[in-house]
Amino acid sequence: MVDFALTDEQKGVRDWVRTFVERELIPRENEVLRRERAGAAPGLTADEADELRALARKSDFWGVQTPVEYGGMGLDAVSAAIIESELGRTFLTFKFGGEADNILFHANPLQRERYLLPTIEGERKSCFAITEPGAGSDAKAIRTRAVRDGDTWVINGEKTFITGGNEADFALVFAVTDPEKGADGGVTCFIVDRDMGWTSEPIDTMGERRPASLVFDDVRVPHTNILGEEGNGFRLAMQWIGKGRYLLPARAVGACERLLEMALRYAKERSTFGAPIADRQAIQWMIADSQMETEALRLLVLQAAWQVDAGADSRHAQSIAKLYGGQKANEIVDRVMQIHGGMGYTRELPIERWYRDLRLLRIYEGTDEIQRRTIARDLLTGRVKVGSSLG
């Protein structure tokens, strides 16, 4: 028997996060939009985000997927997807505290004290640095080099579109250490403090996110700062990339819900030719399609998360969820803007903000084209059988 019901714990988590979003985040949206229109940096300020994380921690909401032994909540993947969906109901990018990159748990005892534990506590900030100007979706094409010199490694190269790179005080840097071995065995991950010499510059984008360009010019890193084992970097990178791709479309579920709610409210209020536009079939079909696609996306996301919890290989399901989520979220926000007409196109409403932000979902952490390649290759090679999603 298939049971689609959430557990009591999952319902409690969902309700708590929804209340938090409605009380603490959504009321800040107008002020953030006002600041952005005046030329300020987009989104919450660092102080505002820290204040909100501290507030959540008072309710013991800390380290959503961080193991309990490290002070986290240790929640399952389905719960994490539910949380992301609720956070997606606001265009303000916010994450609860107490998290660290999953591969940082491969740190040795000394590295745990210097990097992992302070990151979980919010005392330090990291970034994952693999993407390069010539190596985006093709992670095996990285060119950043690390050459050993005694007890240190000298790193030279550039990374680009690095999330959190402007704020991080250390980076997880992937560099080629043995060109003869290629990606599998020839790439190593280094923990590189900013004060070791790397620099960053923000990249201006059409949305809220401001990724960074990182430059490494003869940056010296101690041999003891290798994360995991020398030559094992690419496997660590794939572990990071696959840690939770389902969380990206999960956030889109919340955005689609909120946008559809806005469309419903406006369609009932706006009248043309003596009747609400909600009475027009053209509007009704846009609403119906948006509801259908949102619910389909929700199930795709939860199925992928369920596979993660079951210990199954969830990569195929996550690629489907991300591909579908990116496409449908963009279609839904476009419909909602159309329903609002000229008002939707203005900056007085957050629709245009979502319009710009949601476009990124089809690009980062694996483009639509990469997801299609993955899905097709899985089927053509027989790694995944048609109709095998439930085992």
In order of start, what are the domains of the chain with their CATH numbers?
A: 8-99 (1.10.540.10), 105-116+123-240 (2.40.110.10), 244-380 (1.20.140.10)
* 283-326 residue pLDDT tens: 999 999 999 999 999 999 999 999 999 988 899 999 999 999 99
Q: What SS3 class is residue 75?
A: coil
Give dist(CA 236, CA 234) in Å, integer: 5
Q: With cut-offs at 50, 70 and 90, classify the pLDDT of residue 252.
A: very high
Distance between CA atoms of residues 327 and 319, nearest Å: 12
Supply 359's token pair: 């476009």
pLDDT, one tens digit per residue, over 205-229 is: 888 888 999 999 999 999 999 999 9
Number of Cβ atoms within 10 Å of the Cβ of 71: 14
Coil, helix or strand at residue 193: strand
Q: Is 295 a catalytic residue?
A: no
Cα atoms found within 13 Å of the Cα of residue 48, Cβ hemisphere only? 15
Distance CA 344, CA 339 (A): 8
pTM equals: 0.91
Contact call for residues 73 and 214 (beta carbons, < 8 A): no
Structure tokens at 98: 């107490």
- Reported as a single tens digit per residue, the pLDDT across 138-166 is 667 889 999 999 999 999 999 999 999 99
Which is the catalytic residue, given 24, 48, 158, 365? 365
For residue 328, what are its two tokens?
Answer: 């449908």
Q: Which residues contact 66 (CB under 8 A, 6 or more apart)?
A: 72, 73, 74, 98, 99, 100, 120
Sign of the alpha-carbon torsion through 254, 256, 262, 265: negative
pLDDT at 2 over 70: no
Q: Given this model, what pLDDT does residue 237 score?
A: 87
Burial of 23: CB neighbours in 10 Å, binned 0-12, 13-18, 19+: exposed
Give me the helix-helix angle, 351-358 and 315-340, nearest 10°.
150
pLDDT of residue 1: 53
CA atoms of 112 and 116, how far apart (whole Å): 5
> Binning pLDDT at 50, 70 and 90, where does residue 83 land?
very high
